[in-house]
Structure 1
């Protein structure tokens, strides 16, 4: 998951991952990570003060990231067939494919990247919102 930290279209998400302390965790084991693009993170935060909290408060960052990471690698084909994924925070998200686009509880997956120890999916919004 080292490549996750070098993604230019997810700079703010990278900061949240580091603040949450998950950068080290993601390099151990196999994971699937949902990475909100820069504009999606702004939507998730809602305000500049909440955005600042996500990048400076470990607890706030960890809370968000627990809902965007699952143990194990979920491949795009599995997502397209429809699957329920349990995130680290215990919440479940449903996957689907609509007109050839992978979806995750209403969030559109704009990019899928296979890393050496998992999958990274860039999403355009927070799933379920």
Structure 2
């Protein structure tokens, strides 16, 4: 009887080990989370061109309002190419999409001004949807090991 119980306990532990290991796996950083999502290749390429990938992989926490590939595609023709050629302007725009700290959508309120990493502020609107500037948050609160991603439907341009 004791042998059967020990074998049963060993079998249960062996079956539970992979699930337990998965539940304790470290969450991915902002860059890895965006890569896995698959709809941010333009944003990630732009971050690489601007030298910001390491920052987005850093300790954080950071909140990124992440434009999708479709958001970048909606820019006027030639805009992205000119930004990729002007890394200072590209960096200014990309850092306008980043806020220090882990800011969840429930932390945002209507009319709130959030300070972005580039030094400019962006206004939050909360109604039927959450907006930051003129961009609508289409998927909020994607948690990463070093912060939060909010998917937005357009590229925000700072008015500095």
Query: 2:72·2:154 contact (CA, 8 Å) conserved in 1?
Result: yes
Asked which structure has the greater CA Rg, the reply is 2
Structure 2 residue runs without a partner (length 5+): 1-29
- Report deviation, 1:57: 4.5
Structure 1 residue runs without a partner (length 5+): none
Q: Structure 1: how far apart are the matches of 2:86 and 2:156?
A: 22
Alignment of 1:69-108 (within 5 A): 69-79=98-108, 81-82=109-110, 83-99=112-128, 101-108=129-136
Query: 2:96·2:157 contact (CA, 8 Å) conserved in 1?
Result: no
Cα deviation digits, residues 50-69 of structure 1 (max 9, x gap): 32233454333212212111
Q: What TM-score comes out, normalization by structure 2 length?
A: 0.68
Cα deviation digits, residues 63-102 of structure 1 (max 9, x gap): 22121112111111012x3332111121111223222x21
The one of 4, 14, 17 aligned to 2:47: 17
Q: What TM-score comes out, normalization by structure 1 length?
A: 0.83
Q: Greater share of strand residues, 1 or 2?
A: 1
Aligned length: 125
1:41 counterpart = 2:78: no
Cα RMSD for the two superposed structures: 2.1
Query: 2:93·2:157 contact (CA, 8 Å) conserved in 1?
Result: no
